[in-house]
Amino acid sequence: MRSLGAGLLISVHSAVSVKNAAFYVAVIRARSRSGSGLLFFLVTLILASTNTNAQPSDESRSEAQVQFEKGLNFLLNGESAAAAETFESLYAITGSERVRLEWARASYLRQDYIQAEALFKAVLASSPPFAVREKIHYFLEDMSFAQGRLDYSVSLEKDSNPRLIPSVRSFNIFGLPFRYKPQVDTSPKWGANYRLTGSKGLDDNNRWIASLGALGVHYGEPTLNKIGWDSHLAFRFQIEPKAEIKISHESMDSGGTRLYNYSWATLQHVAQTPGGWQWNNELRYGMISYPAFTYQTSHLSGYKLATEKSVSQLASLGAEIGWDRGSAVERPYSFTTLSYGLSGTYFMTSLNSRVQLKWLSSNRKHLEMDPMFGVLREDKRNLVKLSIEPVNFSMAGFQSVIELGYENNKSTLALSNYKRTIAGLTFRRRY
């Protein structure tokens, strides 16, 4: 905390007096007593460092400091309505972007979403630093789901191996050599994906939120085409830190045949620490059925921990680790998977675009011997994905995202070795 605070004071010192810098230290110390919302407050100080024009008198500056600290104390005590009123009055006097940012957050916490949305968008219009933009987008996204939202997207993609055809086709079975010759077209395929999702809060406090979705994948061949549906019902225990439980169901068909039915429950907690890290904990349990397979029903459970931190005004780094287990009901069939990943996000000012590079790796081990190949199956999968999202570009109300990906799966089961590359262009509704 000391090194972070020192770095902030250096940037603030160029815009405020030594007396004001001492005030920021006092506020930071006061905020350190509560982890909730500290990162959001700290990034607002970046905005303050750009305001060098106004030079109010010592008396007015002192009074503004008192009112600002009063508003922060209201937030610490959970009095979001009083905090919003305090910051609103203070903004009318100072016109400070950092005050408007705290006013927006207080309005969000009191669930005055119309006011909060207008204030957040006004701060975005002032071109704040990357860390502030990312946080504001998180709040806007969260509010839109509760207020009522309709999302739709269309993607065009080229998949080098949509059927996951084995890349190694010569292998041994019980010591005897075999060669696999695919009986289907293995050339790369162009496909179109589409998705439609709607969500809405069900009560006045927007603690119950329901959503419905439909998706489709079309490659021009019946065996590759898919269509699916999903539904979710979530209950929020608290707004910040976010804590909710969600009940979900998903079904997927291909060529007129049901591939699977999956029902599950998720417990999620999202919080931020005084050091500026955002943590996402997710616990999941469900049942999945495969009507076309002999092991028709399986238990699935898992846990994932993800974190992200802004490392500069233009970049953030993230990491995640997960574990899951599956076990069939009708016959001995079970596996465990350990997964982990890293990500980096950078805002390219020259292109006004958000660029993200993500790497995911997983190791799945089956606990029973494969009856045909006589081996214990183990799959090691690696995925690298690059996405580029122009921030201010839109066409007919759609925002575009360019995605490039490479996937490689190495398995002790020869027919499960595969490689694929994917290139796609997605157009989704712009908010």
pLDDT tens-digit map of 276-289: 789 999 999 999 99
**pLDDT per residue as tens digits for the range 390-431:** 987 878 888 899 999 999 999 988 788 999 999 999 999 876
- The Cα–Cα gap between 298 and 186 comes to 31
Whether 110 and 193 share a structural domain: no
312 and 341 housed in the same domain: yes
> Which of 117, 143, 169 lies at the terminal end of a domain, its last residue?
143
- Give the count of domains, the chain: 2
- Give the model's pLDDT for residue 172: 67
Structural domain for 33, as ranges:
2-143
Cα Dmax for the chain: 90
Same domain, 334 and 247: yes
Distances in whole angstroms, Cα of residue 17 to Cα of each of 56, 171, 204, 299, 301 = 11, 74, 45, 62, 55
Indicate the angle between helix axes 97-109 and 113-125, nearest 10 degrees. Answer: 150
Q: What is the end-to-end Cα distance of the chain in Å, rounded?
A: 36
99 secondary structure, DSSP code = H
Mean pLDDT of 82-102: 93
Indicate if 123 and 159 belong to the same structural domain.
no
The pLDDT tens digits for 233-274 are: 999 988 878 899 999 999 999 988 899 999 999 999 999 887
How high is the pLDDT of residue 78?
84
Supply 228's token pair: 């699916």
255 & 274 share domain: yes
pLDDT for 2 beyond 90: no
| Residue reference for tokens 């207020």 | 147
- Which residue's structure tokens are 């997207």? 153
Cα angle 374, 327, 285 (rounded to 5 degrees) comes to 150
Phi, psi of 94 (to 5 degrees): -95, -30
Confidence band (pLDDT; 50, 70, 90) for 1? very low
Judgement on whether residues 71 and 24 belong to the same structural domain of the protein: yes
- Position 306 scores a pLDDT of 98
The residue out of 126, 143, 160 marking a domain boundary is 143
Answer yes or no: is pLDDT of 141 > 90: no
Q: How many CB atoms within 10 Å of residue 190?
A: 12
For the record, the structure tokens of 62 come out as 């002192």
Question: 3-class SS at 199?
Answer: strand
Read off the pLDDT of residues 17-50 as tens digits, 9 standing for 90 and up.
333 433 333 333 333 334 434 334 444 444 444 4
Shared domain for 130 and 213, answered yes or no, is: no
Last residue of a domain, one of 82, 108, 143: 143
Indicate whether 93 and 162 sit together in one domain.
no
Residues 380 and 407: their CA atoms lie apart, in Å, by 11
Residues 115-136: tens digit of each pLDDT: 999 999 999 988 888 778 888 9
**41: which residues sit within 8 A by CB, 6+ positions away?**
27, 31, 72, 102
- Domain shared by 307 and 165, yes or no: yes
Which amino acid, residue 113? Y
Same domain? 288 vs 139: no
Question: How much is the pLDDT for 59?
Answer: 65
Instruction: Please give the model's pTM, rounded to 2 decimal places.
Output: 0.76
Asked if 136 and 186 sit in the same domain, the reply is: no
Strands 257-272 and 315-328, by their bridges, are unpaired
Q: Are residues 271 and 405 in the same domain?
A: yes
Instruction: Pick the closest to residue 295 from 368, 228, 362 (CA basis).
Output: 368
Q: Which of 12-16, 186-190, 302-306 has the highest mean pLDDT?
A: 302-306
CATH number at residue 288: 2.40.160.60
